[in-house]
Structures are given as C-alpha cells and as structure tokens.
Amino acid sequence: MKLSTLMLPLLCIASVPALAQSSLSQRVTSDTSRTEYSDGSTGSSRRDISGNVSSRYSDGRSSSTRRLDISGDTRTGYSDGSYSTSSRDISGNVRTRYSDGSTSYSRTDVGGRTRTEYSDGSYSTSYTDIGGRVHTTHSGHGMAARHPERGVGRKR
C-alpha cells in the first residue's frame, strides 16, 4: 500500500473557519512524504519496512499507524492520547472511528478525488496532481478543520 493511499483519507487541514483552505503534500521518496499546510505548519511521514507509518508535525504532535490484520484495517495512536481505527470496505471506501466517538467516511471517485465526510457534517476533498502533490480543501467548519490526522483529543 502506498503511503499516499494510507494518508490521503486522513489528510485534512486547519485554518480560518468558514473558508475553504488547501494544503500540499509532496512525496520525497516512496516511503516518505512532507505536508505543508496553509496555516504554515508542516508534517512529515515515514513508512518502515513492515508498513507502519510514523508522522510528526511542526506543532509537536505525532502519530503512529500500524496494520491490524490482513484485511488492511489500521490503528493510529496520537501523541495526545487519542486513537482511531480505520477499515476499508469491498469498494475501497474507508471508514474511520475516532476515540472521541466521531467517525469519518472516505470514498474516491473514478476521477481520483477523495471526499471525506465527518460525523459532525464537515467534509474535505483531496486530489493528487500530475506532479504527485495532494491538494485538499475543507468545508472550513468542525472536524475537517481541526487536523484529525494529528489526534482528536481524549474522550471526556
């Protein structure tokens, strides 16, 4: 599984609410990527030989994703103590359950655009350009604007 395939459904950005913003992710090698967000923050991800992905962000947060089983289900732990579990259905759509009780559902259309819808009604849309950069826009509200790939906080 390519790193971009694993990270794309989780890729969202944060910035000024109510405005659609965008981010760029440029793959450096087949096993690493660097993301630049429109708010000036950055992130970098690296996949190890076993397929686990470690990510670090300029705000000090980090995450680690590992495969749970042969079906491709993954579990991601975040430095804030939260976690998420993602599974892929037969159509390739990804459903993610977060430790705070929220969920997201990502599907990719035939044109290669991925739309992620969150349980709070917000959404993000991502596509990869010819140069390999991932462009993401979000609805500007709710979970889509809060960097869920960096953690969602602990459930209270």
- Judge whether residue 10 has pLDDT over 50: no
63 within some domain? yes
- Neighbouring CB atoms inside 10 A of 68's CB total 12
Query: For residue 18, what pLDDT band results from cuts at 50, 70 and 90?
Result: very low
Q: Are strands 32-36 and 42-47 parallel, antiparallel or unpaired?
A: antiparallel
136 within some domain? yes
- List the one residue out of 18, 117, 44 whose CA is nearest residue 126: 117
Mean pLDDT of the chain: 77
Q: What CA–CA distance (Å, rounded) separates 64 from 79? A: 9
| Position with higher pLDDT, 107 vs 149 | 107
Provide the residue range defining the domain that includes 115: 3-150
Residues 124-146: tens digit of each pLDDT: 999 988 888 888 888 877 887 77
Q: What CA–CA distance (Å, rounded) separates 64 from 102? A: 19
pLDDT at 87: 94
pLDDT at 28: 55
User: From the CA atom positions of the chain, what is the Rg in Å?
Assistant: 14
pLDDT at 25: 53
Query: For residue 15, what pLDDT band results from cuts at 50, 70 and 90?
Result: very low
109 within some domain? yes
156 within some domain? no
How many domains, in total, are found in the chain?
1
| Position with higher pLDDT, 148 vs 31 | 31
155 within some domain? no
Please state whether the predicted TM-score (pTM) of the whole model is above 0.95: no
Q: What CA–CA distance (Å, rounded) separates 41 from 98? A: 23
Residues 45-71: tens digit of each pLDDT: 888 888 888 988 888 888 888 887 777
Report which secondary-structure segment, H or E, holds 6: helix 3-7
pLDDT at 3: 40
pLDDT at 2: 44
Residues 68-92: tens digit of each pLDDT: 777 778 999 988 888 999 999 988 8
